[in-house]
Amino acid sequence: MARNFSISILRIPAIFLGTALLTAALSGCGVNNIPTYEEKAKAGWSEVLNQYQRRADLIPNLIETVKGFAEQERKVLTEVVEARAKATQTKLPADILNNPDAFKKFQEAQGQLGGALSRLLVTVERYPDIKSNQNFLTLQTQLEGTENRIAIARRDYIENVRLYNTELRTIPGRWWKAFIYPDAKAMVTFSIDEEKKEPPKVKF
C-alpha cells in the first residue's frame, strides 16, 4: 500500500511536467496566434476610429475660422458640415469588422468627408486673409498631422487584418480555428481604391 502511495506521489510531478511540455508544444505550434492577431487587429481598428474622430473634432473650428466666405462659397461649407454629420452620427454595428456592407458604408462616409474637406481647403486659396489667419494656420498644421496619422493607422490595421485573415486560411491556423476557435471570422479591410486616395492637401 505504501509502495503504491509512493508511486502515486511520483506521478504528480510527471503529470505537471507533461502538461507543461504539452502547453509549450501547443504554443510553439501557433495555438495562440488567432486570438493574438485578432486583438491586434481590433486595437488597430480602435486607432483608426480615434484618428477619424480627431479629424471630425477639428472641423467645427475650421468652419468657424472660414465662415467669412463669400456667399457663393457657402455650398462648400455646407458639404463639409453634412459630410461630417453623416460620418459621425452613423451608428457602427458591433460586427462591423466582419460585416462587409457596414464596413463599406463606413468607408464611403469617411471618404465623402475627406473629399468635402479637401474641396474646402482648396477653396481657401482664393482668400489670402483666411490663409494668413493664425487660427487657420494652426488648424492647417493639425489637419495635416491628423491625415498622416489616419494613413498610418489604416496601414497598420490593414497589415494586422492581413496577418489574422491569413492565419485563418493557412495551416496550422485552419486546424486551430476548426478545433478551438470555430467562431473566428475573417475581418474586412479597406479597399485598394481607398488606400490610393490622397489625403486632403492642407499646404498652400
So what's the pLDDT on residue 154?
Answer: 96
So what's the pLDDT on residue 188?
Answer: 96
Omega before residue 13 within 30° of 0, cis: no
* Sequence-separated (6 or more) residues with CB below 8 Å from residue 154: 48, 190, 194, 195
Chain-centre distance for alpha carbon 57: 17
Q: Model confidence at 196, in pLDDT bands (50, 70, 90)?
A: very low
Confirm if 56 and 88 have CB atoms less than 8 A apart.
yes
Is residue 125's pLDDT more than 90?
no
Whole-number Å distance between alpha carbons of 163 and 40: 10
Is residue 124's pLDDT more than 50?
yes
User: How does pLDDT run across 98-123, given as a tens digit for each residue?
Assistant: 999 999 999 999 999 999 998 888 88
Q: Model confidence at 145, in pLDDT bands (50, 70, 90)?
A: very high
User: How does pLDDT run across 33-67, given as a tens digit for each residue?
Assistant: 999 999 999 999 999 999 999 999 999 999 888 87
Confirm if 34 and 181 have CB atoms less than 8 A apart.
yes
User: How does pLDDT run across 61-98, given as a tens digit for each residue?
Assistant: 998 888 776 655 788 888 999 999 999 988 899 999 99
Q: Model confidence at 11, in pLDDT bands (50, 70, 90)?
A: low
Phi, psi for 31 (deg, rounded to 5): -60, -25
Torsion sign over Cα 92, 98, 102, 103 = positive
Neighbours of 65 (CB within 10 A): 18
Q: What is the CA radius of gyration of the chain?
A: 26
So what's the pLDDT on residue 128?
Answer: 82
Whole-number Å distance between alpha carbons of 161 and 158: 5
So what's the pLDDT on residue 193?
Answer: 55
Confirm if 164 and 188 have CB atoms less than 8 A apart.
no
Neighbours of 7 (CB within 10 A): 9
* pTM summary value: 0.79
So what's the pLDDT on residue 91?
Answer: 87
